[in-house]
Amino acid sequence: MNLALLFSGGKDSTYAGLLAKKHKHKISCLISIESENKDSFMFHTPSISQTKAQANSMNLPLISVKTHGKKELELIDLEKAIKKAKKKYKIKGVITGAVESIYQASRIQKICDKLKLECFNPLWQKDQIELLNDLIENKFEAIIIGVSAYPLDDSWLGRKIDKEFIKDISKLKEKYKINPAGEGGEFESFVLNCPLFKKPLKIQGSNTYGEKNSWRLEVNVK
């Protein structure tokens, strides 16, 4: 089936795209929403502008739409982007990286129903530790670019999601009830390489800012 991938540049949306391809679906385009609200309820925001470089590495067209990021109103901008993909690329559905967020999944489903499109959620309700291990098995190179929960701090920024990361985050899950795949908004990730990429991306520069247990790493990649 001809599909669009709702793409944030992070691990979940990228892995969802890989699973869709493994199931013989065609990804015709990527859709990214650039929100001005860094605390958006719907959208991943750290380093979102760098999805352009990721799209180039995947050799896929990117529909990038800006939104003010106001709760619920930002869904209008998402709908516009999906409509554009339907018209331009004749998509029959969209792929999401939703794992546990009913808030996100239900709203995307509602838009798809309205536009008569299928909605694919290949990661839905997947065990989060299993998900992290799957990333490693599928040769994903993903780093942490945002944290927003105690006891995470700036020392986690730039960390690769590897076996050591899984071990450390599992301990925090037991002690602080942190979602190990960041499904509670505890952290955000950015994919530098995976089987969908024609070539790995390299970080050319970065800026870090934040305080206490809320930090962001904005990267520039090529």
Q: Where are the alpha helices (DSSP H) in the chain?
A: 11-22, 51-58, 74-89, 102-115, 128-137, 163-176
Using a cut of 0.85, tell me whether the model's pTM lies above it: yes
88 shares a domain with 162: no
Question: Who contacts 31 (Cβ-Cβ below 8 Å, separation ≥6)?
Answer: 4, 5, 6, 7, 62, 63, 64, 65, 78, 81, 82, 85, 94
Confidence band (pLDDT; 50, 70, 90) for 71? Answer: confident
Confidence band (pLDDT; 50, 70, 90) for 75? Answer: very high
In which order are the strands placed within the sheet that holds 118-120?
A: 62-67, 26-35, 2-6, 93-95, 118-120
What is the residue range of 217's domain? 143-221
Domain harbouring 161, CATH code? 3.90.1490.10
3-state secondary structure at position 14: helix
Domain assignment present for residue 134? The answer is no
147 shares a domain with 83: no
70 shares a domain with 33: yes
Number of folded domains that form the chain: 2
- CA-based nearest residue to 35, from 25, 24, 43: 43
Each residue's pLDDT tens digit, 83-114:
999 999 999 999 999 999 998 999 999 999 99
Distance CA 133, CA 138 (A): 9
Domain assignment present for residue 126? The answer is no
Q: Is the model's pLDDT at 41 over the cut of 80?
A: no
Each residue's pLDDT tens digit, 139-193:
999 999 999 999 999 999 999 999 999 999 999 999 999 999 999 899 999 999 9
Q: Is the C-alpha dihedral spanning 189, 195, 196, 197 positive or negative? A: positive
